[in-house]
């Protein structure tokens, strides 16, 4: 129900369902934005990790082979 300054106005079932769906859509949109943001962070971290691994592999390749058995 909606409260008016003079009296209470009953909402139709359709209006209530519509308002409920609108809230759920807003929550879904917020969660989607969060997921995209987290995915971007993970992609960036993955790129950095990949670069570190390549750098490590390049450094390791320059070292002479070990003679220890």
Name the pTM for this structure: 0.59
CA 1/CA 19 separation, integer angstroms: 11
Through-space distance between the first and last CA atoms of the chain, rounded to whole angstroms: 82
CA trace torsion 41, 46, 49, 51 (10° rounding): -110
Mean pLDDT of 10-18: 83
How many percent of the chain have pLDDT more than 90? Answer: 54
Residue given tokens 């909402």 in the structure block: 11
Report long-range pairs for 22-27 (Cβ below 8 Å, ≥24 apart): none
Mean pLDDT of 16-21: 92
How confident is the model at residue 59, as a pLDDT? 84
How confident is the model at residue 19, as a pLDDT? 92
Residue given tokens 């003679």 in the structure block: 67
How confident is the model at residue 63, as a pLDDT? 73
């Amino acid at each position: 129900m909606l409260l008016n300054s003079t009296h209470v106005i009953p909402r139709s079932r359709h209006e209530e369902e519509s308002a409920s769906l609108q809230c759920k859509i807003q929550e879904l949109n917020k969660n989607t934005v969060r997921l995209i943001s987290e995915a971007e962070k993970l992609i960036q971290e993955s790129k950095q990790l990949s670069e570190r691994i390549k750098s490590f592999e390049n450094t390791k390749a320059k070292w002479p082979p070990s003679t220890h058995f």
